[in-house]
């Protein structure tokens, strides 16, 4: 079963799709990918490396962007 590790970054990003990041408050460690998709929707980007899957969500702002990276580890 994949489990989620939540990391929140505030960064200046060049471009990023807008998603409902405010819903991220409902995320908890240990959630499955299906549970995360139900809350957050499809990720802007998904990376894979060995047994780790990383999903990206962000909102582009005027002076800074909000970026959330979700990590699913086997």
Instruction: Tell me the domain boundaries of the chain.
Output: 3-73
Q: How many CB atoms lie within 10 A of CB 40?
A: 19
Higher-confidence position of 18 and 48? 48
Are the C-beta atoms of residues 8 and 56 closer than 8 Å to each other? no
For the chain, what percent of residues have pLDDT higher than 90?
Answer: 8
pLDDT at 11 (0 to 100): 43
pLDDT of residue 15: 44
Q: Is residue 66 predicted with pLDDT exceeding 90?
A: no
- Output the pLDDT for position 35: 93
Angle at 42 between CA 3 and CA 7, to 5 degrees: 45
């Amino acid at each position: 079963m994949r489990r989620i590790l939540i990391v929140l970054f505030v960064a200046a990003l060049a471009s990023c799709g807008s998603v409902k990041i405010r819903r991220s408050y409902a995320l908890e460690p240990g959630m499955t990918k299906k549970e995360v998709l139900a809350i957050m929707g499809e990720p802007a980007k998904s990376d894979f490396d060995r047994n780790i899957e990383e999903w990206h969500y962000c909102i582009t702002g005027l002076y800074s962007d909000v970026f959330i990276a979700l990590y699913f580890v086997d």
